Homo-oligomer: A and B are copies of this chain.
Amino acid sequence: MNIINSTPRADGFYMPAEWEPHGGCVMIFPERSDSWQYGGYAARAAFVRVASAIAESEKVTVCASEKQYENARRMLPPHIRVVEMSSNDAWARDYAPTFVTDGREIRGINWGFNAWGGLADGLYFPWDKDDKMARKLCDLYDVDMYDFGSFILEGGSIHVDGDGTCITTEACLLSAGRNPNLSKTEIENYLRECLNVIKVIWLKNGIYNDETNEHVDNICAFVKPAEVVLAWTDDENDPQYEMSRSCLEILERETDARGRRFTVHKLNCPAPVTITAEECGGLDTMDFAPTRTPGERLAASYVNFYISNNAIVMPFFGDPADEPARALLAELFPERKVIPIPARDILIGGGNIHCITQQIPLRGKI
């Protein structure tokens, strides 16, 4: 693995859209008992369902700690690869490499990771093992790496259309715990150079109470160039209403890198999902305090789906909105089957299916 002292843009590499062909997908086996209830048993079962759904059409590699390796190998079907790798938690989207391609070769980007806010408002300490994963994964996949470790970014805070446009949120990228010494313009320049995009669309915010500082991948996702799904609610008393409405207004007045106006599909959220006292009782404490409190609202959104080579792997919450969400995604991705996964056990950890996956673009060597 070579470290490349240049930028993807300078070398003609770009981040492809998620619907472009994948060579594979990487995930991390969940383990920490302050993130996942009852020591992670239910979360692991849910992750296995996600991995299995994705593995129907692409090679999935699951990273497991030394301690969990045998569990992972036993629980996952044999065509899924398990590799030993240490981590602090299980969010492949946020600290696996962001992969770029020039159509022939793929390369990885290592961003800096500080647990969604470092000492300002990060979610756990330390985060050193997570931060090392992008580099280890580039080495594992034998791809060269751009090292932007001094720039804090999580993969879940960006979405691209593969055609020159990136969407992100100000709430996250301009947060005090990421890159407080960089201006919005400087941050945007990082995205342009690293993702090789022409235009960055800045939404103000994401999903209410999303502890990632409102990652874009929970509120808005491309389904094709100039066409997005937006997490929505019609309940004007829900704090989510103004947040989604703000996003809609921005999307309606913006154009993409090629000057196209956006088609916005509203993807209705489930009714507010809150954690129960019983679920909180299954979570270990962190720094002598509970990580969640009964009644706390979780950032449930159907936008947090993964586009695999032949499927849309999406979360279900056991809510009446499940089926309409499935139907909309089926309509928007007619060439893919929609695979719903009951995702409450993932949501409790603080994210969803998109957050726990990272696609690897297809290349000759994979």
Contact = CB atoms under 8 A, between A and B. Distances in A.
A47 to B, nearest CB: 17
A218 to B, nearest CB: 30
The A interface, classified by DSSP as helix, strand, loop or mixed, is mixed
Contacts of A73: 135, 139
Contacts of A83: 83-84, 136, 139-140
Interface string A306-337: 00000000000000000000000000000000
A85 interface: yes
A212 interface: no
A334 to B, nearest CB: 32
Contacts of A136: 69, 82-84
Interface residues of A, number: 23
Nearest to A3: B78
Contacts of A139: 73, 81-83
Interface string A125-140: 0000100100110011
Contacts of A81: 1, 139-140, 142
23 contacts: A1-B78, A1-B81, A2-B78, A2-B79, A59-B142, A66-B66, A66-B86, A66-B129, A69-B136, A70-B132, A73-B135, A73-B139, A81-B139, A81-B140, A81-B142, A82-B139, A83-B83, A83-B84, A83-B136, A83-B139, A83-B140, A84-B84, A84-B86
